[in-house]
Amino acid sequence: MASVTIKNLTMRFPVYGADNRSLKKHLARISVGGKIGKAAGQAPVVTALSNVNMKLKPGDRLALMGHNGSGKTTFLRTLAGAYEPDEGTIEVSGRVAALLDLSLGIDPSATGYDNIRLRGLIAGLTRREIDEKMEDIAAFTDLGGFLAMPLKTYSAGMQARLAFAVATSVDADVLLLDEWIAVGDTKFRKAAHERLLDLVERARILVLASHDVQLVRYYCNKVVRFDSGLVSKVRPIEDLDELMAMPVGAPA
């Protein structure tokens, strides 16, 4: 059974090349970032996530809301296993698919077919699964003979189509999305939306970071607010307006 259990999660990042005072001034100007700390003789540290607790079960569609730099992407990358928690634990049951960075794992000198295999492995597919899905992925890209050519001959749009086709070929129990993805021209964007929607519907748990209120109301049934590394309790999506209207730093 798919599940996500997070206990006392804290993530810190040292900031090199900046003293504590200048870093505070910079974060104050842009109104983002976590709590600043500094141990004697060490680089300043940003606490990107602080003591996060959460439990998700099948059927949960969680929206992550908050301004840029509030910790949403760090949270998604930690769930995906890209970051190791400084404190606390994360337990994820089921296969995780993370559509966070479509450019990850692209090799410009390799062919389209080779990049499909490379990105498939990064996404957690086995070589056998990649071979079984190759025909479908290739057909969806609509790149034809270009798939036998190096990616450096592709336009940016063609690369995005290939990366999207691979990323959405994974059958996920837990799906992580950093904004709703739209790639390609009008025709491909329509097909991409339908493919992504199918992936979302098949996932047991969805975690979606977005600034689009209408989007999260449509696709999500729960919501949390991020505020400089602090995370509210999980609340019903019906509480979205109340949650977002709370003053910065207010308990939620």
Q: Would you list the domain boundaries of the chain? A: 3-94+208-245, 99-203
Mean pLDDT, rounded, for 48-55:
95
Crossing angle of helices 156-167 and 186-202, in 10° steps, is 20
Higher pLDDT: 145 or 246? It is 145
CATH top-level class of 99-203: alpha beta
**What's the predicted TM-score (pTM) here?**
0.83
CATH homologous superfamily of domain 3-94+208-245? P-loop containing nucleotide triphosphate hydrolases (3.40.50.300)
Give the per-residue pLDDT at 251.
Answer: 53
Range of weakest confidence among 41-50, 82-91, 142-151:
41-50
d(CA 10, CA 1): 26
Number of residues that make up the chain: 252
For residue 22, pLDDT beyond 60? no
Q: How confident is the model at residue 185 (pLDDT cuts 50, 70, 90)?
A: confident
Mean pLDDT, rounded, for 189-212:
93
Give the per-residue pLDDT at 29.
Answer: 45
Give the per-residue pLDDT at 32.
Answer: 45
For residue 20, pLDDT beyond 70? no
Per-residue 3-state assignment (H helix, E strand, C coil) for the chain: CCEEEEEEEEEEEECCCCCHHHHHHHHHHHCCCCEEECCCCCCCEEEEEEEEEEEECCCCEEEEECCCCCCHHHHHHHHHCCCCCCEEEEEEECCEEEECCCCCCCCCCCEHHHHHHHHHHHCCCCHHHHHHHHHHHHHHHCCHHHHHCEHHHCCHHHHHHHHHHHHCCCCCCEEEEECCCCCCCHHHHHHHHHHHHHHHHHCCEEEEECCCHHHHHHHCCEEEEEECCEECCCEEHHHHHHHHHCCCCCCC
| Equal fold, 3-94+208-245 vs 99-203 | yes
